[in-house]
Structure 1
Amino acid sequence: MSVYILSNRKIIRHKGERADSFSNDEYSIPNFRIAKCDFDDYKEPTAQSKKRKDYTNRNILNYQLFSEPEKQGYENVMEVLLSEKGIKESTLTASNLGGTQRMFYELYKNMSSTKERSDVLIFIHGYAYDFDDELQAIIDLKKLFIDRPESPVEHILFVSWPASSSIVPLTYFDDKASSINSGTSLLRLFYFYTQFLKDIFSNRQLVPCNQRIHIMAHSMGNRVLQSMLYSLKRENILRVIDQVILLNADVSYKVFEESEDSFNKLPLLANRISVYLNRQDAILGISQFTKNILTPRLGKNGPSDISQLKDIVSVIDCTFVKDDLLNSFKFEAGNHWGYLSSSQVQSDIFQNLYGIDRNLITNRIANNENIFTIIS
């Protein structure tokens, strides 16, 4: 099990201490830095500890930033892997690897060491998260997707982008701009990943692990994904993702149309795309009527036209699910966090991640060949 933070947040340098930290500032840097979360000494906080002013950053969840790589590219990763197999002599070890080199190395090693499902989930959060909120979200996601036996996920890559810490409506536009910048950073990371695959598997001694990688984006996190897709050249796309799950997506309902040139690229990237929507989503209703010039939102209204993509894209209507896990006013009135608040939505997502045929997933009814409604 491993959980990584991929963040383009500002880095705080601590005098007299070895460990740098991510900042809560609403400011993005051009490149993602990578950190690994440490759950070894994690303890559930008490209500009293949460009230303390020092319950921030590493007091929520410990993590360690990876160093920057000594050398660009993935030749060193290949050398370390071949050395560990006894195929090539080298003085290099994993400690010489930094950044994406270290993360990809660790994931490849862990995912290759088992024949069981050891999937990776790339999660992109939504609007109004500061870094402390993100750390708490990581804890919740680990409980949901790693600790639960119904889920095939064993590793999480949490995409941390500097959303505003306030839910004041004007900050929405700051987050909108930040999500676009973060999408550009995510594109760079995608190219690093495809380069890693090409470099490593060009050597016949290193074989694919045959595990699966999924992308899940919630709310405005879909705009980060959209920004990446805008800039992604079709000729550079490799189908390296199994499932893409779009939760309550705060993007236009036209994103799959050719004129948008963004989400219509997803079928080149992934085996299956699932759009989870709630027609009573109050958060997306506010987004539509106050911030997006009456443009219907994908996560509330569904896609405008996916007739050309119906074999790959599914729409799952969660309007009638029960909030049986989290039922505070925020969740019941918002109808925006079904993946956290509803066991029905979670069960549907788990079956999706396992790759069960969309017509065989339980507690669904088919409205037509690619549109479904979750029922009690």
Structure 2
Amino acid sequence: MATLTLYYGTNRAHTGSDRWNPTGYGARFSSDGAENLRFGRIGMSADSKKLTSYLTKKRKVLGEGDGEGLGDWLAQQPMSIAAYRESIDPTVADAHQPNAVFGSAALFAALKGHMDKGADVLIYIHGFNVAWNEAVGAALALQEQLNHHGEQPVVVVLFSWPSDGKSMPFTSYRSDRTDAKASGYAVGRALLKFRDFLMLLRSQVANSEAKPCNQEIHLLCHSMGNYVLQNALARIAEFSPGTLPRMLTNVFLCAADVDDDVLEPGEPLGRLDELTQAINVYTNRGDNALRISDFTKGNPDRLGSAGRHVRSRCIPRCYRSTARRSSVDWSSTAII
């Protein structure tokens, strides 16, 4: 049997009587509020042979590995969940609680341990209509695929928000979009905590109290997860005077359910390049969530299907150019 581990953050309400060892997380916000995040670790045992069969499956178009099938299978496996314990007052600002115990601190310390050993970190925010177990399966599949096919070790951190996970597309879409906006503030709050943690590490390195690990941190958002990011960026900007903190190496916007001009100056993700060294846009013209977005909301063309809109023209699907700031590369690649 293979032992799999996944780190997570969520603002979903826990299921079961023990919030620190829940049976799972549901489709509603935490009782502590939409911006309250619980951090923790998931453990899972999986049949090694079956796991390998998914990772090595030959596919005509996409090459080796069946990530979608692997995610569906892992979503059905039993899992153990251990949330990092906290002792905080949610009504008081973090800075005014010197003796508080934060779950985020335990997560960051665990990730630092992996990075000190040479692993990169990839934060994954899922999209519309995803139940908790499906989110876990997808994140674990992503982690296993990256580590099986790549040379660079990667630790995936799942952020799961209360996406409905129902089969009523139009009703679920409206509900999920509302929840995604509130969840964006929670993600922004988490990234601000992460900023403070990185600043502490940098000061320790400067004072020769710690050694730099020189590893990279990336962010991948799928579908409506990009709308979560859009609102997270607004929250980060609210609490970051001047230029936003550059914390990430790559941001991957996959089948993004946001407006196609969202990356332009003055638009909601117009300052994303301050947060990361590179922005990568992947399009999928066949994404059902993007069709629902157009139908239910009358939304403009979506970034994830139409590509990036610049100066009243749409960039072709396969495109690479230098952005308005030389530190950022834009690319748009079709996902089949």
1:144, 1:59 → 2: CA distance?
17
Corresponding residue number in structure 1 for 2:155: 155
Question: How far apart in 2 are the matches of 1:69 and 1:58?
Answer: 33
Deviation at 1:130, TM superposition (A): 1.2
Bigger mean CA deviation after superposition, 250-259 or 122-131: 250-259
Q: In the alignment, does 2:27 pair up with 1:25?
A: yes
- Judged with a 3 Å threshold, the aligned counterparts in structure 2 of structure 1 residues 45 and 33 are, in CA distance, closer, same or farther, namely farther
Contact 2:255 2:304 in 1 (8 A): yes
List runs of 5+ in structure 2 lacking aligned partners: 51-72, 312-322
Structural mapping, 1:292-303, within 5 Å:
292-303=297-308
8 A Cα contact 2:74 2:140, kept in partner? no
Paired residues of 2:277 and 2:327 also in contact (CA < 8 A): no
Q: Percent identity?
A: 25
Instruction: Determine the structure 2 residue equivalent to 1:6.
Output: 9
Which secondary structure does the structure 1 equivalent of 2:258 belong to? coil
Deviation of 1:151 after TM superposition, in Å, equals 5.4
Supply the distance in 2 between the matched residues of 1:278 and 1:113 (Cα, whole angstroms).
35
- CA drift of 1:309 comes to 4.9
Q: Does 1:268 align with 2:274?
A: yes
Q: Deviations along 1:154-201, whole A, 9 cap, x unmatched?
A: 211101000012132121011001000110001111111111122233
Find the residue that maps to 1:166 and give its secondary structure.
coil
C-alpha deviation, 1:42, in angstroms: 3.4
Where do residues 210-359 of structure 1 align in structure 2 (5 Å cutoff)? 210-233=214-237, 235=242, 237-260=244-267, 262-288=268-294, 290-305=295-310, 308-309=324-325, 312-318=328-334, 338=335
Quick one: which amino acid aligns to residue 310 of structure 2? D
Distance in 2 between the 1:42 and 1:98 partners? 31
Provide closer, same or farther for how the CA distance between residues 282 and 143 of structure 1 changes in structure 2, counting only shifts above 3 A. same
RMSD: 3.2
Q: Report how far residue 217 of structure 1 moved.
A: 0.4
Higher share of residues assigned strand: 2
Larger radius of gyration: 1
- Which amino acid in 1 is paired with 2:211? V
Summarize the alignment of residues 357-376 of structure 1 with structure 2, pairs less than 5 Å apart: none
Task: Confirm whether residue 177 of structure 1 aligns to residue 178 of structure 2.
Answer: yes
Distance 2:271 2:257 in 1: 18
Give the counterpart of 2:78 among 40, 60, 70.
60
Q: In 1, distance between residues paired with 2:114 and 2:305?
A: 38
Q: Which amino acid aligns with 1:253?
A: D
Q: Match of 1:246, SS?
A: strand
- Stretches of structure 1 that go unaligned for 5 or more consecutive residues are 47-54, 77-95, 319-337, 343-376
| Contact 2:173 2:292 (C-alpha < 8 Å) held by counterparts | no
Moved more, 55-64 or 296-305: 55-64
**Following TM superposition, by how much is the alpha carbon of 1:11 offset from its aligned partner in structure 2, in angstroms?**
2.2
Q: 1:10 to 1:301 in 2, by over 3 A?
A: same
Q: Please list, as runs of the form range in 1=range in 2, the aligned pairs for 1:175-214 lying within 5 A after superposition.
A: 175-203=176-204, 204=207, 205-214=209-218
Where do 1:85-96 residues align within 5 Å? Answer: none
Task: Assess if the C-alpha contact under 8 Å between 1:2 and 1:154 holds in 2.
Answer: no
Shift of 1:311: 6.0
